[in-house]
């Protein structure tokens, strides 16, 4: 396995979706190629740093404002008042 | 006294051959009941669904549009559209994946409006080979968190992901930040699984390459933001 072959398998390797024979080849390549070892390590850190450090905050004030606005729009459609009608309607069998 | 044999699905059916299959199936996702209640007109159930997914939808929209006001509008539109189309949700996919699909469509539409002279789609700029072949082999030591404070790190991450083409940015956001499976990402974006894998690889490598400017060992001290 060379570096190009290794790169082609990188996504499957990260996602754990690689068959055992190929995994052995990947590990063998990683043991001998420092460049690919660095690529794996720094790509994993790339994923981790984005997963653990959300660059966009989501304050409670924004959450409340958006949720109230959505619920107002939903109620304005008149869809939910049907519940009251259904509740008052006799349930005949 | 010997300990009892663990009850696997197989030996349960052996012991009780007439056990109904639905007792062995995985329990339904809690969203199924919430969606059913919301469809029946339960406002509290729909509000609960908003609470559960508003953060994910907002972040997805902000990652794709790179604009906070747009992300706020999109998040509201996504939940309003979901409310209007609730009867069309058949439960064939997760409710969250269904919401994400609406959010991606709304976000890409917003980008198209912003760039009236350019078409913006999942395919935009994805043909580029830039960053798909690693060139920087510097190790990241110490770890990124150790060289920058929270605010600096957040700015680096924002600037770096903003430089990716929308097609790559979206796949990376759904798969690696929001933790959707490859199959769910493909479903949400209307792409094939191989297309998602290919874009994900290139997105990860491009981001890695760009972040190396800040985190690479060759940089003694912190790079300028």
Q: Which of A17, A42, A54 sits opposite B140 (nearest CB)?
A: A42
d(CA A63, CA A73): 16
Is it the case that residue B171 has pLDDT exceeding 90?
yes
Model pTM score: 0.79
Task: Give the domain extent around B52.
Answer: 26-114
Q: How many CB atoms lie within 10 A of CB A33?
A: 16
How many domains, chain A?
2
Domain assignment of residue B18, yes or no = no
How many domains, chain B?
2
The mean pLDDT of B162-188, rounded to a whole number, is 92
Does residue B149 sit at the A interface (CB-CB below 8 Å)? no
Is it the case that residue B139 has pLDDT exceeding 90?
no
Cβ distance of B40 and A83 shorter than 8 Å: yes
The mean pLDDT of B193-198, rounded to a whole number, is 94
Higher pLDDT, A75 or B129: A75
pLDDT tens per residue across span B8-65: 444 444 555 555 565 566 777 889 899 999 999 899 999 999 999 999 999 999 999 9
Give the whole-number percent of chain B exceeding pLDDT 70.
77
Cβ distance of A69 and B76 shorter than 8 Å: yes
Task: Give the domain extent around A80.
Answer: 57-87
The label of the residue with tokens 């690889």 reads B201
Task: Assess whether B209 and B130 both reside in one domain.
Answer: yes
CATH of the domain at B133: 1.10.10.10
d(CA B136, CA B188): 33
Q: How many CB atoms lie within 10 A of CB B210?
A: 18
d(CA B64, CA B5): 51
pLDDT tens per residue across span B71-115: 999 999 999 999 999 999 988 888 999 999 999 999 999 988 887
Cβ distance of B143 and A35 shorter than 8 Å: no
Which band of pLDDT confidence, cut at 50, 70 and 90, is reported for residue A84?
very low
Q: How many CB atoms lie within 10 A of CB B139?
A: 15
Give me chain B's average pLDDT, please: 82
Q: Give the residue from chain A lying closest to B39, CA to CA.
A: A80
CATH of the domain at B102: 1.10.1740.10
Q: B90-102 in b/e burial notation, b at 16+ Cβ within 10 A?
A: eeeebbbbbbbbb
Cβ distance of B204 and A47 shorter than 8 Å: yes
Pick the closest to residue B51 from A67, A45, A29, A52 (CA basis): A67
The mean pLDDT of B186-200, rounded to a whole number, is 93
Pick the closest to residue B93 from B194, B187, B190 (CA basis): B187
Q: What is the ipTM of this complex?
A: 0.81
Contact A66, B75 (CB under 8 A): yes
Q: Which of B114, B134, B167 is the last residue of a domain?
A: B114
Lowest mean per-residue pLDDT among B79-88, B111-120, B142-151, B165-174: B111-120
Task: Assess whether B223 and B163 both reside in one domain.
Answer: yes
Using N-to-C axis directions, what is the helix angle for B150-162 and B193-215, rounded to 10°? 130
Task: Assess whether B154 and B222 both reside in one domain.
Answer: yes
Q: A37-67 in b/e burial notation, b at 16+ Cβ within 10 A?
A: ebbbebbebbbebbeeeebbebeeebbeebb
Q: How many CB atoms lie within 10 A of CB B18?
A: 5
Residues 33-92, chain A, touching B (beta carbon < 8 A): 34-35, 38-39, 41-43, 45-47, 49-51, 53-56, 58, 62-63, 66-67, 69-71, 73-75, 77, 79-80, 82-83, 86
Task: Assess whether A26 and A8 both reside in one domain.
Answer: yes
Is it the case that residue A79 has pLDDT exceeding 80?
no
Residue B145 C-beta-side C-alpha neighbours within 13 Å: 8
Contact B85, B78 (CB under 8 A): no
- Identify the residue among A48, A70, A78 best suited for mutation to test binding to B, counting B beta carbons within 10 A and taking the highest: A70
Instruction: With H, G, I as helix, E, B as strand and everything else as coil, classify residue B52.
Output: helix
DSSP for A16-77, written as a single string: T---HHHHHHHHHHHHH-HHHHHHHHHHHHHHHHHHHS-SS---HHHHHHHHHHHHHHHHHT
d(CA A1, CA B45): 53
Residues 65-104, chain B, touching A (beta carbon < 8 A): 68, 71-72, 75-76, 79-80, 83-84
- Identify the residue among A36, A65, A74, A81 best suited for mutation to test binding to B, counting B beta carbons within 10 A and taking the highest: A74
């Amino acid at each position: 396995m060379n570096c190009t072959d290794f790169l082609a398998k990188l996504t499957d390797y990260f996602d754990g979706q690689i068959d055992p024979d190929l995994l052995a080849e990947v590990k063998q390549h990683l043991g001998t190629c420092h460049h690919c070892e660095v690529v794996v390590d720094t790509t994993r850190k790339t994923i981790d740093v984005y997963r653990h450090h959300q660059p966009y905050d989501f304050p409670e004030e924004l959450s409340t404002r958006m949720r109230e606005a959505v619920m107002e729009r939903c109620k304005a459609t008149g869809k939910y008042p049907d519940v009251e009608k259904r509740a008052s309607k006799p349930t005949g069998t | 006294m010997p300990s009892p044999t663990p009850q696997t699905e197989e030996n349960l059916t052996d012991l009780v051959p007439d056990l109904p299959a639905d007792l062995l199936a995985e329990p339904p996702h809690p969203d199924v009941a919430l969606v059913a209640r919301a469809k029946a007109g339960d406002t509290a159930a729909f509000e609960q669904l908003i609470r559960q997914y508003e953060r994910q939808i907002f972040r997805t929209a902000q990652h794709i549009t790179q604009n906070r006001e747009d992300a706020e509008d999109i998040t509201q539109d996504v939940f309003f559209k979901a409310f209007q189309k609730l009867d069309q949700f058949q439960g064939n996919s997760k409710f969250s994946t269904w919401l994400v699909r609406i959010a991606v469509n709304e976000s890409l539409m917003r980008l198209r409006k912003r760039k009236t002279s350019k078409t913006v789609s999942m395919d935009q700029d994805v043909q580029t080979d830039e960053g798909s072949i690693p060139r920087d082999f510097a190790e990241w030591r110490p770890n990124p968190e150790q060289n920058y404070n929270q605010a600096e790190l957040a700015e680096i991450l924002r600037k770096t992901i903003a430089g990716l083409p929308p097609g790559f940015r979206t796949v990376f956001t759904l798969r690696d930040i929001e933790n959707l499976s490859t199959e769910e990402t493909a479903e949400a974006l209307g792409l094939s699984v191989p297309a998602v894998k290919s874009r994900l690889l290139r997105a990860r490598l491009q981001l890695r390459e760009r972040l190396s400017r800040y985190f690479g060992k060759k940089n003694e001290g912190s790079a300028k933001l």
